[in-house]
Amino acid sequence: MATCTLSVARFGRPSTFAHRRVRWLPPYDGNSTCLDWWLPTDAEAADTAADGGAAAIRVRALAVILPGLTGSSKEFYVRRMARQLLRAHMATCVLTSRGVADTHLERPQIFSALFAKDLRHIMQACMTREKVQECLLRRISPLQSSDHHKGAVPIIGVAFSLGGRILTNYVSEQGEAEAPSGFDAVYTITSPHNVSDGAAALRMLLSKLLYGSTLYKRLRAYYERHKNVLQNLPDIDKKLLMDGDSPLVKRLRTVQDFGEFITGPHVGFPGAEAYYVAASSFRRLHHSRMPQVCVVVANDPIYGPPQPAPRWLHLIDMHCGGLVYVEMPVGGHLGFLGCPWSEWTQAPNEMEHLVLRSLIHFIKSADTQAAEAKTNE
């Protein structure tokens, strides 16, 4: 129900932000990448001051947001989360690439759960701690709790659905390579940690009718927009997909069809199932050295029931950086709707409350540890 009625909430009070800045990065492989920034404003400062906080505009952290399937900064759930982060004095930056939304696709390489090169590129090219500090200091002051931490702003990853798979894969790859990720902590929200089970849930009749067709329409629109490039993707069967009076590409009807004949082969697998198995969190997440919070919902209609607790406990024991698993009883898939008044006023929902409380605690703990380390020098 929360997922179904999410679209209704979009007609409530509109999300408006000041200090929005769109930055287009030079292509590193021929395809454009967009960073959509929002910075805290006087309005957010006033909200904090009313609650007893400081009235100056300062930044406590930078949240790098990765949306779900074909999503961008225009998505309702992204804008909701950005609003709550801004109110808590956290800058936000939304990553969009691979022909999604306003970005272009000039070279034949599409997004997938296993494709982390765009995220790696932005973290190395423009999200180093020095460059983030330089960017923020031009506009607003970072929150400086003490001299030892002067100017340092934690960089947090916040990712939804498919974006959560990309973020998880990235930090796992960096951990496996013993290389820094650039993040201080990451959050994944309603991400399919077992992609095979998620695909099976989406094939169930009700989910297929209510959600599967909508998701596939997004993929179909993506294909139609970029078909001149997608028809030349490496490793897909062009003859099977494109040739004849009734080419197979016109008869694809589901997300799994798209994975079977396009995404899976394109990223090096014989089909969708092999790709889904490789994209599972339980295969690689233990390599990550990054603190991570995984938020799932028991009634997620798209990715199905959560994985068994023993499986998560085993992964938590193996994880080097500190892994927290949170299972919420309700919320749907990216829905988390509250009462009508809460939706109209855009008050934080339960998921947003959880993420904000956790983030603020993490930042305060990091400050305390840094202060103690400075004292002991």
* Torsion, CA 77, CA 83, CA 85, CA 91, rounded to 10: 110
If phi > 0 it is left, if psi is from -120 to 50 it is alpha, else beta; for residue 151 that is: left
> Can you tell me the distance from the alpha carbon of 34 to that of 72, in angstroms, rounded to the nearest whole number?
10
Q: Are 116 and 58 in contact (CB under 8 A)?
A: no
> Can you tell me the distance from the alpha carbon of 95 to that of 206, in angstroms, rounded to the nearest whole number?
32
Q: Which of 106, 31, 107, 97 is nearest to 70 (CA)?
A: 97
Catalytic residue positions? 161, 300, 333
Q: Which of 309, 288, 287 is nearest to 298 (CA)?
A: 309
- SS3 state at 268: coil
> Can you tell me the distance from the alpha carbon of 200 to that of 67, in angstroms, rounded to the nearest whole number?
22
Q: Are 157 and 185 in contact (CB under 8 A)?
A: yes
